[in-house]
Amino acid sequence: MDHQPEPTTLRVFVALAPPDDAKDELARALRPAYTAHPHLRWNRIEDWHITLAFLGELPATAVPPLRSALAARAASWPALTLRLHGGGHFDERLLWSGIDGDLAGLHQLADEVRELVRSCDIDYRARPLRPHLTLARSRRDDLTSVPETAAALTGFVGRPWQTERLHLVGSNIGRGPGPIRYRDIEAWPLGTTRS
């Protein structure tokens, strides 16, 4: 039996994920775009997430202390009320759905997660938080499919939902051919709803 060695590094981020019914609601709104633009590289619905802190490539040894710190704090962070709303794009090539609801709470949670990451001696370049779900990417020579699909999502307003878990996620970017795949390293329940 061929045994793959454990990777010495992992590409890691901390995220929230909408519940399945909220993702299904958005997927139904995207059905015409799936047909009209099948050549877009669509992310798998199970991989849709809101990134709070993208940590990049980390030594595998950095992950256990991070897991412990996030686990210890997750229950003290309140759940947030969010919804998927509208759509947009970055550079005409990356399609996203926007996030609405308790955005102040979302930014506060992201700030606290980033501070916790730093307390674990993980040095990373923090980007400004732009809450969104990445849905699809286009080829370099296609500058119309993504903006057209984003425009079609302008009126989309999803139902409100509660954040349930904080996710520490690993991805396979740079680990061979095929689509990007994500997997939970671990996830922890969040506390009660913000008042």
> In this predicted structure, what is the pLDDT of residue 38?
87
pTM assigned to the model: 0.88
The answer to whether residue 85 scores a pLDDT higher than 70 is yes
Residue from 112, 19, 18, 120 nearest 74 by CA = 112
- pLDDT score, position 66: 93
Taking the CA atoms of 54, 17, 97 and 128 in sequence, report the sign of the dihedral they define.
negative
Residue keyed to tokens 């619905």: 45
CATH number of 9-189: 3.90.1140.10
With cut-offs at 50, 70 and 90, classify the pLDDT of residue 161.
very high
DSSP state at residue 155: T
Q: Where are the domains of the chain?
A: 9-189
Q: Is 140 helix (H, G, I), strand (E, B) or coil?
A: coil
Vertex 65 angle, CA 62 and 170, to 5°: 55
In single-letter form, the type of residue at position 108 comes to Q
Distances (CA, A) of 123 to 43, 57, 62, 127, 156: 28, 11, 11, 13, 37
What is the pLDDT, as a whole number, of residue 180?
Answer: 62
The better pLDDT of the pair 171, 104 is held by: 104
Task: Give helix 63-74 / helix 103-119 axis angle, nearest 10°.
Answer: 140
Residue type (1 letter), 29? A
Residue 179: band (very low, low, confident or very high) from pLDDT cuts 50, 70, 90: low
